[in-house]
Amino acid sequence: MPDLILALDITEKKRALRVAHTCAPYLDAIKIGYPLVLSAGLGIAGELAREGLPLIADFKVADIPNTNQLICDQVFAAGFSGIICHGFPGMDSVKACVASARAHKGECYVVVEMSHPGGKEFFAGGIAEQIASNAIIAGADGIVAPATRPDRVRVLRGFIGNKKILSPGIGAQGGDADAVASLVDGIIVGRSIYEAPDPVAAAQSYAHLRRDKKA
- Torsion sign across C-alpha atoms 161, 110, 1, 157: negative
CB 57 within 8 A of CB 84: yes
Tell me the C-alpha distance between 64 and 53, whole Å. Answer: 30
β 3-7/186-189 pair status? parallel
Element (H, E) at 154: helix 150-160
Exposure b/e, 17-53, CB count within 10 A at least 16 = b: bebbeebbebbbbbbbbebbbeebebebbebbbebeb
Tell me the C-alpha distance between 211 and 215, whole Å. Answer: 10
For residue 75, the one-letter residue type is V
Element (H, E) at 144: strand 142-144
13, 14, 31, 60: the catalytic one is: 60
- For residue 80, give the nearest of 35, 40, 46 by alpha carbon: 46
Q: Is 60 a catalytic residue?
A: yes
Provide the 10 A C-beta neighbour count for residue 75: 27
| Dihedral of the alpha carbons of 151, 131, 69, 82, in degrees to the nearest 10 | 20
Catalytic residues: 60
